[in-house]
Structure 1
Amino acid sequence: MFSITTELPIYYSVLCILLGVIYAYFLYRKNRFFSKKLTTVLFVFRALVVSVLFFLLLNPLSSVTETIEERPIIILSQDASVSTSLDSSDYQNLINLKNKLSSDFDVITYNYSDQINEGFTTDKTGSSTNISQLLDEIDLKYSGRNLTGVVLSWDGLYNQGSNPLSHKIAKSIPFYTIPLGDTSVLKDVRISEIQHNEISFLGNTAPVKVNIQTEKCKGEYITIKLFSEEKLIESKKLKITSNSEFFKTDFTIKNSSLGLHKYKVVVSSVSNEKSIENNSRSFYVEVLDSKYNILILYDAIHPDISAIKSVLDKNKNYEIEKEKISNFNSNYDKYNLVIYFAFSDNKLEKLEKIKSSDVSLLLLVGPNSVSKLNYLYPSGKVDGKNKSQEVTASYNADFSKFNVSTNLQNYLTDLPPLLAPFGTYNQSLTSEIVLYQKIGLYNTEKPLIIVDNNSEKKYSVVYSEGLWKWKINDRNNNNLHQNFDELFSKIAQFLLIKEDKSRFRINYDKKIIQGKEMNFFAEYYNENYELNNDKEVSLHIKNKDGVIYDYVFSKNTNSSYFLIVSSLSEGSYSFIAKYNNSEQIVKGEFTILPKQIESKISTANHQILYQLSTESNAYMFDKFNTDQIVETLKNNPLNKTLLHTSEKVKSVINIKWILILILLFILIEMVVRRYNGTY
Structure 2
Amino acid sequence: MTGQTLLFTILAAIVAIGLSLLFYFYNSKKKRSKHWIIFSVLRFLSLFSLFLLLINPKLETLELSTEKPNLVVAVDNSSSIAYFNEEENVRSFLQQIKDHQELQEKFKVDYYSFGSEIKKVDTLSFTENKTEITPLFDNLTEIYAEQVTPTILITDGNQTYGEDYLFTAKQYPQDLYAVAVGDTTFYSDLKIERVNVNKYAYLNNKFPVEVFLNYTGDKAITKEVKIELGNTKVFSKKLSFSKEKNSEILQLHLPANRVGLLSYTITAETIENEKNTNNNTKKFLVEVIDEKTNVLILSSFLHPDLGAFKKAIESNQQREASIKLISDFKESLLDYQLVLLYQPTSAFKSVFDQIRKEKLNSLIVTGTKTDYQFLNKSQDFFRKEIFTQLEEFQPSYHSGYSSFQQPDIQFSSFPPLKDNFGDVAFKTAPQVLLYQNINGVKTNLPIIATTEENQQKTGFLFGANTWKWRAKSYVQQKSYETYDDFFGKIIQYLSSNQRRERLTVDAQAFYNYGDKISILAGYFDKNYTFDDRAKLQISLQEKETEKTYQYPFILQSYSYGVNLNQLQPGTYTYKVTVEEENIQKTGSFTIVDFEVEKQFLNTNLDKLQKISEENVSFLSQGTALLTQLVESKNYQSVQKSAVKKSSLIDWKILLAIIIVCLSAEWFLRKYKGLI
Q: TM-score, normalization: structure 2?
A: 0.63
Q: CA deviation at 1:342?
A: 0.6
Cα separation, partners in 2 of 1:398 and 1:540, compared to 1, 3 Å: closer
Aligned to 1:28: none
Cα pair 2:220 2:241 within 8 Å, conserved: yes
**What are the Cα deviations for residues 292-331 of structure 1, in whole angstroms up to 9, with x where unaligned?**
1110111212122122223334443223222122443443
Distance (Å, rounded) in 2 between the aligned partners of 1:487 and 1:184:
48
Cα pair 1:399 1:432 within 8 Å, conserved: yes
Cα separation, partners in 2 of 1:251 and 1:292, compared to 1, 3 Å: same
**What are the Cα deviations for residues 393-439 of structure 1, in whole angstroms up to 9, with x where unaligned?**
5555676744558xx53xx6665544244333557755242475363
Aligned to 1:388: 390
Letter in 2 for 1:388: L
Letter in 1 for 2:389: K
Cα pair 1:206 1:254 within 8 Å, conserved: yes
Distance (Å, rounded) in 1 between the aligned partners of 2:597 and 2:471:
37
Aligned to 1:588: 587
Where do 1:306-325 residues align within 5 Å?
306-325=307-326
- 2:442 is aligned with 1:444: yes
Q: CA deviation at 1:357?
A: 4.9
Cα pair 1:395 1:436 within 8 Å, conserved: no
Of 230-239 and 568-577, more deviation after overlay is shown by 568-577
Aligned to 2:418: 419
**What are the Cα deviations for residues 87-145 of structure 1, in whole angstroms up to 9, with x where unaligned?**
72785799899999979xxx9x864434565546422222333568x589979xx99x9
Cα separation, partners in 2 of 1:208 and 1:350, compared to 1, 3 Å: closer
Where do 1:509-524 residues align within 5 Å?
509-514=508-513, 516=516, 519=519, 521=521
The DSSP-based 3-state class of the residue aligned with 1:163 is: coil
Of 269-278 and 354-363, more deviation after overlay is shown by 354-363
Aligned to 1:333: 334
Distance (Å, rounded) in 1 between the aligned partners of 2:486 and 2:502:
31
- 2:295 is aligned with 1:294: yes
Q: CA deviation at 1:336?
A: 1.8
Cα separation, partners in 2 of 1:479 and 1:164, compared to 1, 3 Å: farther
Distance (Å, rounded) in 2 between the aligned partners of 1:561 and 1:395:
19
Cα pair 1:300 1:344 within 8 Å, conserved: no
Of 563-572 and 589-598, more deviation after overlay is shown by 563-572
Aligned to 2:125: 123
The DSSP-based 3-state class of the residue aligned with 1:88 is: helix
Distance (Å, rounded) in 2 between the aligned partners of 1:478 and 1:319:
25
Aligned to 1:226: 227
Q: CA deviation at 1:519?
A: 3.6
Distance (Å, rounded) in 2 between the aligned partners of 1:453 and 1:423:
21
Q: TM-score, normalization: structure 1?
A: 0.63
Distance (Å, rounded) in 1 between the aligned partners of 2:360 and 2:174:
51
Distance (Å, rounded) in 2 between the aligned partners of 1:609 and 1:413:
42
Distance (Å, rounded) in 2 between the aligned partners of 1:548 and 1:184:
41
Cα pair 1:177 1:621 within 8 Å, conserved: no
Aligned to 2:199: 198
The DSSP-based 3-state class of the residue aligned with 2:279 is: helix
Q: CA deviation at 1:561?
A: 8.7
The DSSP-based 3-state class of the residue aligned with 2:597 is: coil
Of 282-291 and 116-125, more deviation after overlay is shown by 116-125
Q: CA deviation at 1:540?
A: 5.8
Where do 1:118-157 residues align within 5 Å?
119=121, 121-130=123-132, 153=153, 155-157=156-158
Cα pair 1:510 1:591 within 8 Å, conserved: yes
**What are the Cα deviations for residues 269-293 of structure 1, in whole angstroms up to 9, with x where unaligned?**
2123221111111110001111111
Distance (Å, rounded) in 1 between the aligned partners of 2:543 and 2:166:
41
Cα separation, partners in 2 of 1:580 and 1:114, compared to 1, 3 Å: closer
Cα pair 1:194 1:209 within 8 Å, conserved: yes
The DSSP-based 3-state class of the residue aligned with 1:310 is: helix
Where do 1:485-634 residues align within 5 Å?
485-501=484-500, 508-514=507-513, 516=516, 519=519, 521=521, 541-545=540-544, 547=546, 549=548, 551=550, 567-575=566-574, 587-599=586-598, 602-605=601-604, 622-623=615-616
Distance (Å, rounded) in 1 between the aligned partners of 2:97 and 2:406:
35
Q: CA deviation at 1:228?
A: 0.9
Q: CA deviation at 1:240?
A: 1.7
Aligned to 2:79: 82
Aligned to 2:268: 267
Cα pair 2:266 2:282 within 8 Å, conserved: yes
Distance (Å, rounded) in 2 between the aligned partners of 1:621 and 1:445:
61
Cα pair 2:137 2:172 within 8 Å, conserved: no
Letter in 2 for 1:367: T
Unmatched runs of 5 consecutive residues or more in structure 2: 1-69, 618-624, 637-675
The DSSP-based 3-state class of the residue aligned with 2:126 is: coil
**What are the Cα deviations for residues 135-191 of structure 1, in whole angstroms up to 9, with x where unaligned?**
89979xx99x9977998956553334x435799x99999898765556765322111
Cα pair 2:327 2:347 within 8 Å, conserved: no
Distance (Å, rounded) in 1 between the aligned partners of 2:420 and 2:119:
45
Letter in 1 for 2:76: D
Aligned length: 538
Aligned to 1:163: 163
Q: CA deviation at 1:211?
A: 0.7
Which protein shows a greater Rg? 2
Aligned to 2:433: 433
Superposition CA RMSD, Å: 5.3
Unmatched runs of 5 consecutive residues or more in structure 1: 1-72, 614-618, 635-679
**What are the Cα deviations for residues 19-41 of structure 1, in whole angstroms up to 9, with x where unaligned?**
xxxxxxxxxxxxxxxxxxxxxxx
